[in-house]
Chains A and B, each alone.
Chain A
Amino acid sequence: MSPDLLDILAAVLLVLGALLSLAAGVGLWRFPDALSRLHAGTKPQVLGLVFIVAAIALTARSFAVLLVLVPVLLFQMLTAPIAAHMVGRAGYRTKNFRRELLAVDQLEDAVERASRADAEVEVGADPDADNPDRTFGRDQRM
């Protein structure tokens, strides 16, 4: 491909990356609760970065640059899920979401079981002793 075509391709990739950034901003502004906003905000963190990094690689056209661009993606893919997980966890635990908007709450049963087990431990009984799931509630306490 000719260099001019590569430059145009890189510019198109830039627009796509910026579009994801805008989508994150609009989602952040329009969505109703913290967990929905988290969903919108994590879109440009990986896909947008992939577009921008591809654009840099297309304009620099050298293996040395390509090699330093790999750790950018690598570190982002390693750390972005950690941040999203912690925010999501804090959002769920502090009930910082609108329950009526949920289609399904897969943690509901586990939370209920854990709080029931906790209540039973307090009166001395432990009917749940050989339930393999019992450690869930204990270990999850902050």
Chain B
Amino acid sequence: MTLTTVLYLITGGLFTVGALFAVARVVKGPTILDRVIGSDVLLTTLMLVLGAEMVVNGHTQTVPLMIVIAATAAFSTVAVARNVSRQDRKE
């Protein structure tokens, strides 16, 4: 294995663990805000993984997808955050 292969494998492992923590937070909550922050991190991780995959496989085909995610990822978060009410607070 070359040095770059090792580094690529480390990258994949780190992304996987980070995404799993984000999924765990989305599942556990406890409030809607925690869940929306978790899903935001998950979407960011997805975007970073798309970029990393382009580096590993040596192509640039998914750059437009990255642009779309970067431009629209905030909308879902804003839409949910706007509708959080006091009843969603944990007691």
The answer to the question of A53 belonging to the interface, with a C-beta cut-off of 8 Å to chain B, is yes
> Are B51 and A52 in contact, CB atoms less than 8 angstroms apart?
yes
> Are A21 and B48 in contact, CB atoms less than 8 angstroms apart?
yes
A91–B10 alpha-carbon span in the complex (Å) = 35
> Are B21 and A10 in contact, CB atoms less than 8 angstroms apart?
no
Q: Which residues of A contact B18 (CB under 8 A)?
A: 18, 21-26, 44
Contacts A65-B60, A83-B74, A94-B85: A28 and B55 contacting too (C-beta < 8 A)?
Answer: no
> Are A28 and B25 in contact, CB atoms less than 8 angstroms apart?
yes
Contacts A11-B11, A68-B63: A75 and B70 contacting too (C-beta < 8 A)?
Answer: yes
- Report the count of interface residues on A (CB-CB < 8 A): 54
User: How far in angstroms is the closest Cβ of chain B from A135?
Assistant: 22
- Report the count of interface residues on B (CB-CB < 8 A): 56
User: How far in angstroms is the closest Cβ of chain A from B17?
Assistant: 5
Chain A interface, DSSP helix/strand/loop, else mixed: helix
CB closest residue in chain A, given B19: A25
Q: Which residues of A contact B10 (CB under 8 A)?
A: 15, 18
Q: Can you list 12 residue pairs at the A/B interface with Cβ under 8 Å? A: A8-B7, A14-B52, A18-B11, A26-B21, A34-B37, A56-B51, A71-B70, A75-B67, A87-B77, A94-B33, A94-B85, A96-B89
List chain A positions with a Cβ less than 8 A from chain B.
Answer: 7-8, 10-12, 14-15, 17-19, 21-26, 28-29, 34, 37-38, 41, 44-45, 48-49, 52-53, 55-56, 59-60, 65, 68-69, 71-73, 75-76, 78-80, 82-83, 86-87, 89-91, 93-96
List chain B positions with a Cβ less than 8 A from chain A.
Answer: 3-4, 7-8, 10-15, 17-22, 24-25, 31, 33-34, 36-38, 40-41, 44-45, 47-48, 51-52, 54-56, 58, 60, 63-64, 66-67, 70-75, 77-78, 81-82, 84-86, 88-89
